[in-house]
Amino acid sequence: MTITSENETANANVDATRSEVGLDVRPMSGYIGAEIFGIDLTGPIEPEVVAEVRAALLKWKVVFFRDQHITPAQQIAFGRLFGQVTPGHPTLPTLEGHPEVFPLDSRAYADVSSEYQVRSLWHTDVTFVHNPPMGSILRGVVIPPYGGDTQWTNLVVAYETLSKPIRDLIDGLHAVHVNQIILERGDGSKLQKMFTRTSYETVHPVVRVHPETGERVLFVSPNFTQRIVELSNTESQRVLDLLFSHLATPAFTVRFRWQPDSIAFWDNRATAHLVPTDYGHLGFDRVMHRITIAGDVPVGVDGSPSESREGGAFA
């Protein structure tokens, strides 16, 4: 008689799933991130494969693909399998010929890099609009030989690991999100003016309920979250500082080493990420192309939706 261990049974189930749809999903850390192999994003993708990618995304919050030699049009087509692809950014310039693509190009700011430096802070994309994106898909175009890694954190785990009294407190709170740029040094007034040419201000629940999984998500981040409505300014800052520090706990995160034609696809409703700052002094170029998928209006624990104060919804 052959005795099969629990781990062997689990591995057999993983293998069966992989052989059925042709995907190989390899987790990268304990709480967040998985690489997906066995898929070609340049051609048609069967609905059952799309469903498996979505399932992996919901479970691991961010998924990664390697060696995907796709064009901007193919990147957009891939995004449309998961929802409506929005314009690239509410206020900043987009890629010529592809208004859905937001280019993150270090070369565009090379001539002003000595004038100012934007502070790299944990953030969830475009939370200042009424309906922040469901997801973002980022493609590596020009990658430094080293440096330039991106990090993501799991905001579901961040919420779940708070003590119950803190969870009970923040379940009923709401926070103001605005489109702002926070500088580390210098005068970035021209960039700030461009970024805020349309003013956005939205009040989101501090804890949102994920529309697909039902999970509770800590929905604040240092970049765009300004203050908590129900608290005094001092109380708000103390509580936000606590939450910002907690969501950055290293155990909740994954770090991705980029290569040309690597792709990251993250659930923007359940993650925050951190832009790298460790390559600018090396003189390397770094070019990324991002698209975003339209999201719904966040809903809090009590069932109430976010409130737009200025700027409204996006796409």
On whether the CB atoms of residues 32 and 60 are closer than 8 A, the answer is yes
Out of 89, 123, 204, 210, the active site residue is 123
DSSP 196-216: TSS--EEEEESEEEPTTT--E
Ranges of H-type helices in the chain = 6-21, 47-60, 72-80, 155-160, 164-170, 189-195, 233-247
Residue 210: active-site member: no
Beta carbons within 8 Å of 130's beta carbon, 6+ residues apart: 202, 297, 306, 308, 311, 312, 313, 314
Active site annotation includes 204: no
Among 177, 208, 216, 290, the one annotated catalytic: 290
Q: Which of these is catalytic: 89, 125, 204, 286?
A: 125
Note if 290 is an active site residue. yes
3-state secondary structure of 111: helix
Per DSSP, the residues of 272-283 read EEE---SSGGGT
Q: At 75, give phi and psi (nearest 5°).
A: -65, -45
The closest alpha carbon to 271, from 104, 34, 18, belongs to: 34
Q: Is 278 a catalytic residue?
A: no
Check 208, 273, 286, 289 and give the catalytic one. Answer: 273
Using CA atoms, how far residue 129 sits from 126, 133, 134, in Å, is 6, 9, 12
Active site residues: 123, 125, 273, 290
